[in-house]
Amino acid sequence: QVQLAEAGGGLVQAGGSLSLSCAASGPDLRLYFMGWFRQAPGKEREFVASIGWIPGSSKYADSLRDRFTISRDNSKSSLTLHMNDLKPEDTAVYYCAASLRVTLESAYWGQGTQVTVSG
C-alpha cells in the first residue's frame, strides 16, 4: 500500500510560479512510477507529467513541457512539480499518483491540492 500526500497548492497570479510536493510512503517505492495529474472544474482528469526511478525518465504533456518540471528525490521518497509562467487555465486540483505501470494505470492517488491562477 502506497500513501501519497500533496502540499504546496494555493493562489498565484498569472505569470507566477508555484511548486507542489508529494510525500510518498510504502514499501519498494523505487519500483513505482510517479506522476502528476490535474482536474479542472467540469473537465476530466488529465496527465501532467511522470517520472521513473531512473534520472532522465521524465515525461510531460506536450502542452506543459516548456513550463513544468517534474523531479524526484528517491532518498526522501518525494516528488516535486515546479510550475512556471502559470496561466488561468492551469487552475485545477493537482493529484500525485504512483503506479507500477509506466502509464500510471491502476495508480495510488493522493488527496489532491488546489492550484488557482488569477488572471
pLDDT of residue 56: 77
- DSSP one-letter code for 30: G
Question: DSSP per residue over 2-13, as a string?
Answer: -EEEEE--EEEE
40-78 pLDDT per residue, tens: 999 999 999 999 988 778 999 999 999 999 999 988 899
pLDDT tens-digit map of 68-111: 999 999 888 999 999 999 999 999 999 999 999 988 888 999 99
What local confidence, expressed as pLDDT, does residue 94 receive?
A: 98
pLDDT tens column, 14-31:
999 999 999 999 998 989
Sign of CA dihedral 4, 93, 48, 68: negative
User: Which pLDDT belongs to residue 83?
Assistant: 98
What is the maximum span of the chain, computed from C-alpha positions, in angstroms?
A: 42
Q: What share of the chain is helix, strand, coil (3-state, %, to 5)?
A: 5, 50, 45
